A and B are shown apart, each in its own frame.
Chain A
Amino acid sequence: MEFLRPPSLHEALEAKAAHPEAVPISGGTDLMVEINFDRGRPETVLDLSRVPELAEWERENGHVRVGAGVTYERIIAELGEALPGLAMASRTVGSPQIRNRGTVGGNLGTSSPAGDGLPPLYASEAEVELSSTGGTRRVPVSEFVTGPKRNALRPDELISAFRMPRATGPQQYAKVGTRNAMVIAVCSFGLALCPERGRVEACIGSAGPTPIRTPEAERFVEGVMEEGGLWETRGPIGDAALRRFGEMVQAAARPIDDVRGTAAYRVHAIGVLARRSLGWAWDEYRRGGE
């Protein structure tokens, strides 16, 4: 096994160009599990943990650009205000040790539908920045992830960053697992309110081959709010609308049975999470007007 450890992004991209078969590793919280289980034995491993450019984040007019190597722990500590949904999702990831090592870049690279970082990225329509020696391209996250553990990354590319809008309203992330900590999602749900645009953005995790956006449910709630002038009055949404939202989110889920839970339960739980999350986010919005 060849082990490459470039000290800069430039050299990392050159290494990737020279060794397109190289498997990138940053926190190693996914890859090392695969190796320990003997499920995969990469010929070449490209260690990105020493690349300073990947460990930075910055504000870019209304957006935040987060390097692929920024750990969950730093997202929680440093980006809780700008990206509250992603920070909430980060808090549900693994144990403190995992959060100290794991990165959203890794979640993107693995492209598992159960990745906790993905629903917030989907909900806020984040873009993934893919770099190679030939340049950089930006791909919407929903186009980047093409299937379970499949994505649009080319062999000579590395995920360098993702970019998403700063929160303009309350956000939520909720995840069902059979244990109260350190658990892979049975299903999850991310939600963002964008009052300035009158938008509700939502995404289901771990209940389909990829994270799934819920446009019909979102449009429904937006309609309820517009009709009642709720964005302005900050009045209550009403239980019926919350329930209907939950049902419409359920309708979008496409889960399977596996060791972690049955499809029927996932559908059921997604509905509950959607209803509750919207209620919490809306309550927060209402309190914000006091």
Chain B
Amino acid sequence: MPGHNRDELTAELKITPSPRAEQPPQAQVEAVMRAAGEAGPAAHEAGPDSVVLSGGREEVLDAARRVTEAALDAGAKTVEVRVEAQEESGRFGEAGGRRGSP
């Protein structure tokens, strides 16, 4: 397989649309998806109201902030952000080791 690393970082953003915002809930989610798509790193749907950004640490963190702002601008009530370092199995059989630089 990979000639390529697994993405270093992922940020999953879960949107709770506000029923009181100007835009209807579905439009709020769509606005977030659009912003995610334009934010730079790879963006994929990760659930009915979720988007996952994946890639290098800096670009994902920057993008997560921009997408969060877009969500708030669209009227979303809550944005849950879960940033996860892609954990890799341990080299010696113990769980949860991080891939170090060689």
Q: Does A touch B (CB under 8 Å) in the complex? A: no
Which A residues fall within an 8 A CB radius of B? none
Interface residues of B (CB under 8 A from A): none
